[in-house]
Amino acid sequence: MINIRTKAEQALHEFIGEGTDFRPGQYEAIEATLTNKRTLVVQRTGWGKSMVYFVCTKLLRNEGKGITLIISPLLALMKNQIEAAERAGLRCDVLNSTKNSEQKAEIIERMKNGTVDIILTTPETLFTQLVQEALPQINIGLFVVDEAHCISDWGHDFRLEYCRLNKVISTMLAGVPLLATTATANDRVIADLKEQLGGNVYVSRGPLMRDNLSIQILKLNGKTERYAWLCENIPKIPGSGIVYCLTRDDCDEIADFLNKNGISARAYYSGKKTKNSDEIDPNEETERLFMNNQIKVIVATVKLGMGYDKPDIAFVIHYQTPPSIVAYYQQIGRAGRNLDHAYTFLMNGKEDADILEYFRRTAFPSESESKDVYNCILDKGNASSYDIEKRLNIQHGRIENALKFLVNEGFIYKEKSRYYPSATAYCYNREHYEAITKQREAEFAQMMELLDTDMCYSRFVVNALDDKTEKNCGICANCLKHELISSQVSINAIEQAAKFLDGNYMLIEPRVQWANTSFTKRIKIEKPNETGICLSRYGHPIYGELVKKGKYEDNGFGDRLVERSASILTPYITENEIAALTYVPSLRSDIVREFAKKLANKLGIPCLCLLKKTSAQQQKEMENSSFQCENAQRSFSLYEDAAVPERILLVDDMVDSGWTMTVCGDILTRAGAQYVYPFALAATSKKDS
C-alpha cells in the first residue's frame, strides 16, 4: 500500500504542483479503486472527485494497463473534464453525438490501439451498435460512472439511459476497477447504487456542509415581485451567477427581462437550436460567454447543473422551488467553488407545485400508455414512433417515454428507427413506479419545509441528505437573524417588472411540415402561415389571467383584452398591409367571434366570417400531431361564397399545438390568401427542462 501512496502522491504533484496533499478521503478512494474494489465516491461539489480518476488513470497507464472510459451525462460536463485532464497531461477525447461517423471511427481506433488515455462518452453513445461491437476489442483499465445518482431511479436526476449500465458492469467488467462518483446521494440512493454496482463496494462519503455558501429564502410568490427583486438586486451582487427556472419559457422570458433592464443574460436549456447548421450551438456560446464573465447571468433549467465547473460563480438564485432537497443542494453547489463566499437565494412561486406535480405525473408512462404502445408494436410486428403516433392518441413525448421504458425493461428492442417485440413477456411495473412517485412527493414536501424552517438553512439541507451534522453554518439568513439582501423591492422596480409583463407578448412560429394523417403525409406545407403574435401565456399575470377569467367565468373577453390586442396589432397591421380579419369558429361558444368583431372595430378593418366548423371532437382532447392535425382537417372548411383577401389576420383565443391555425391558414391560402397572420390571446403549450 505504501507503494501505491507514493505513486499517487507523485501523480498528484505532476497534476497540481509540489507540496500539495490529497484532501481527506481522496487517497483512500484511489487505493480502493486500484485494488479492484468497486468504489462509490459521494462527496460535496469541489471536493475533487475528478482528481481520483485522473490519478488512477495515470498510475494504471504507467503500468501499461488499458484506457479509462468515463460515462458522463452532459456535454458541458465533458468539456470541463477534458480541459482538466489535458492540464494533467492525459490524452483524452469525447465520443458522443457531436462527432460524425468518420470522427467516431477514428476515436474508436485510438481506443483499440491504446493511443488515448481517457475517453468520455454518454450512455446513449455507449449503447450504440458501433460502440458495442468495438468494446470487446478495447482494453479498459478503469470504468468510471460520473454523476452516478443518474443510475438510481430513486435519485433526483434519474436518466433511463443510465440504468442499462448495470448490465455492462455485471457482464463486461469483471476484474476491471470501477469508480462511481456523485455529489448528491442520500442513504436510499447510496443503498441502491451499492446493489447496482455489485460486489464489495467501498463507499467514500464525506461531510456535505459548504461553509462558504450563504442561503436566504425569499417569500416573493408573485411573478411581478420576483421579477422586480431580480432586476433590483442582481446588479448589487459582485460577480456572475445562475438563475434556475423550472421551464424553458421562464428562462427565455426572464433573460429577456434582465437584458432589457441592463443586466446581460442568456437563456440555457435543452432543445435550443440554431437556425442554420453552420451556426455555433447557442448553449455552447452561452457557456463560453459565461465562463469568460462576458455575461452576468445564465438563466437555466436543470440542464446547467451536474458537474458544470466555473470556479467563480458568485450566486445561485432559484426563481422557483426545485423538486427536492437533493436537487436543490446539487444546484447551489455550482456556486463558490473557488470563492471565499457565495450567495444563494430561494424563491417560491404559486405555480411551482402545479409544474412539479406535472413533472412527477409524466415521469413514468401510465399503464394504459405502456400497454397500448406495446400492443401497437406487437400487432404490426414492428413500428416507428410516428407509426404509433398516427394510431394512438398519445402525446409524441409520452410515446417516446413509453418506448424507452419498454426497451429498458426488455419487452421490445430497437433497430435503426423501428421497434420490435422481444421474447420477454410484457408486464407493467406499477408498484415500483408508484413507490418512486410517492417518494418524490415526500421529497417536495421536505423542500417546502425548508421554506419555513427556523433552523440553520445549510444544516437543514445536509441533514435532509442524511449528513447528521449538528453544526450550524453561521452565515445563512437564519443564523445571522437578518436577511442577506432585503426581500423588499422598491415601487420603481415593481413598476418596471409590471410594465415588462404588461407589454410582453410571444411569437407564433408557423408549422412548415404536415403531420402524418389520412389527408396528408409528412411533407412540406406549400404555403405556411406567417409568423404570428400571441398576447400572453395562459394563466400568467395580467393578460393570461384575464383570458382565463374571460373564458371560464365571464363568458367573454373584456375591453382591456381588446385594447391591449389592438395596441399590439395596429403597427403590425399597418406594416403588413392586412386588409381584414377572420376568426376560428366554434360550435360551443361565440366568445371568439364576439371578441373578433370588437377587435376589428377597434382596428378599423372588416371582420369577415369565412370559416365554418363541423361537428368534431374538441381539439384539446387530441394529444399528438397526427391526431391534432387530422382533427383540425376534419373540423374546418370555407363558406362556399367566401371572398378571401390577399392579406388577412386569423384570430383565435388559444394556441397550443398550432394545428388549428395551420389548417385554417391553409384553407384560406387555397381560397386566395397570399399571407395569413395568426393572432391568439393565450398560449397553453408546456415546455419543460
pLDDT, position 275: 57
Strand partners, 508: 532
The answer to which of 217-226, 368-377, 477-486, 537-546 has the lowest mean pLDDT is: 537-546
SS3 20: coil
pLDDT on residue 503:
79
Q: Give 365-377 pLDDT, tens digit per residue.
A: 999 999 999 999 9
> What pLDDT is attached to residue 463?
95
As a residue count, the chain comes to: 689
pLDDT reading at 81 higher than 70? no
Percent of the chain with pLDDT over 70: 95
Match 416507428 to its residue by C-alpha cell. Answer: 384
Q: Report how far residue 152's alpha carbon sits from residue 130's, in angstroms, rounded to the nearest whole number.
A: 26
> Residues 67-81: what's their mean pLDDT?
75
First to last CA, the chain: 46
Span(s) in the chain for CATH 3.40.50.300: 2-205, 213-356+445-496
Please give the model's pTM, rounded to 2 decimal places.
0.86
State the pLDDT at residue 375. Answer: 96
* Sequential DSSP letters for 380-420: HSSB-HHHHHHHS-S-HHHHHHHHHHHHHTTSEEEETTEEE
Higher per-residue confidence, 158 vs 477: 477
Residue 200: its H or E element: none
Which CATH code for domain 2-205?
Answer: 3.40.50.300
What is the pLDDT at residue 639? Answer: 95
- Looking at domain 213-356+445-496, what is its CATH homologous superfamily? P-loop containing nucleotide triphosphate hydrolases (3.40.50.300)
Q: Which three cell numbers stand for residue 523?
A: 411533407
Alpha carbon distance 471, 460 (integer Å) = 10
Give the mean model confidence (pLDDT) for residues 384-407. 92
| Domain 362-432, CATH number (from 3.40.50.300, 3.30.70.100, 3.40.50.150, 1.10.10.10) | 1.10.10.10
What local confidence, expressed as pLDDT, does residue 318 receive?
97
Give the pLDDT mean for 554-571.
95
- Tell me the pLDDT tens digit for each residue of 261-303: 999 999 999 877 665 555 677 888 898 899 999 999 999 998 7
- Report the run of H or E that residue 535 belongs to, with start and end: strand 532-537
Tell me the chain's radius of gyration from C-alpha atoms. Answer: 28
Which of 681, 683, 680, 675 is closest to 529 using CA atoms? 675
Amino acid letter for position 426:
Y
pLDDT for residue 312: 93
**Is pLDDT of 112 > 80?**
yes
pLDDT digits (tens, 9 = 90+) for 166-216: 777 777 677 789 999 998 888 988 998 888 888 789 999 999 998 999 999
| pLDDT interval class at 689 (50, 70, 90) | very low
Rounded distance between C-alpha atoms, residue 348 and residue 353, angstroms: 9
pLDDT interval class at 46 (50, 70, 90): confident
Burial classification of residue 297, based on how many CB atoms lie within 10 Å of its CB (0-12 exposed, 13-18 middle, 19 or more buried): buried
Q: Is the pLDDT of residue 543 over 50?
A: yes
CA distance 342 to 339: 7
Neighbours of 105 (CB within 10 A): 12
- pLDDT, position 666: 97
Among residues 244, 211, 204, the alpha carbon closest in space to that of 459 is found at: 211
DSSP-derived letter for residue 34 is: H
Q: Is 39 helix (H, G, I), strand (E, B) or coil?
A: strand
Write the DSSP symbol of residue 607.
Answer: B
CA angle 164, 169, 170 (to 5 degrees): 100
Higher pLDDT, 570 or 126: 570
pLDDT at residue 678, rounded to an integer: 98
Whether 483 contacts 464, CB under 8 Å: no
What is the pLDDT, as a whole number, of residue 338? 87
502: burial class by Cβ within 10 Å (0-12, 13-18, 19+)?
middle
d(CA 197, CA 143): 12
CATH 3.40.50.2020 placement within the chain: 505-683
The whole-angstrom distance between residue 196's C-alpha and the CA centroid of its chain comes to 26
Q: Are 528 and 665 in contact (CB under 8 A)?
A: yes
For residue 74, name the pLDDT band (cuts at 50, 70, 90): low
- Every domain of the chain with CATH number 1.10.10.10 lies at 362-432
How many whole angstroms separate alpha carbon 344 and alpha carbon 342?
7
| CA 382-385-387 angle, 5° bins | 65
> pLDDT digits over 599-635, tens only?
999 999 999 999 999 877 888 889 999 999 999 999 9
Q: What is residue 14's predicted lDDT score, i.e. its pLDDT? A: 84
The alpha-helical segments, DSSP class H, found in 88-207 are 101-113, 123-126, 129-134, 165-172, 187-197
Burial 431-470 (b: 16+ CB within 10 A, else e): eebeebeeebeebbebbeebeeeeebbbbbbbbbbebeee
What is the arithmetic mean of pLDDT over 18-42?
Answer: 91
**Mean of the per-residue pLDDT values for the chain?**
90
Question: What pLDDT does residue 76 have?
Answer: 58
Quick one: average pLDDT of 13-42? 90
Question: Which CATH fold topology does 505-683 show?
Answer: Rossmann fold (3.40.50)
Min mean pLDDT across 116-130, 315-329, 454-468, 660-674 is at: 116-130
Spatial separation of the C-alpha atoms in residues 688 and 270, rounded to whole Å: 9
Average pLDDT over residues 540-555: 89
What values do phi and psi take at 610, rounded to 5? -110, -30
Residue 497 pLDDT exceeds 70: yes
CA distances from 54 to 304, 437, 570 (A): 24, 37, 62
Sort 269 into a burial class: Cβ within 10 Å, 0-12 / 13-18 / 19+. buried
* Among the ranges given (184-198, 338-352, 408-422, 473-487), the one the predictor scored with the smallest mean pLDDT: 184-198
Q: DSSP strand E in 568-645: where? A: 580-583, 611-613, 636-638
Burial status of residue 136 (CB atoms within 10 A of its CB: 0-12, 13-18, 19 or more): exposed
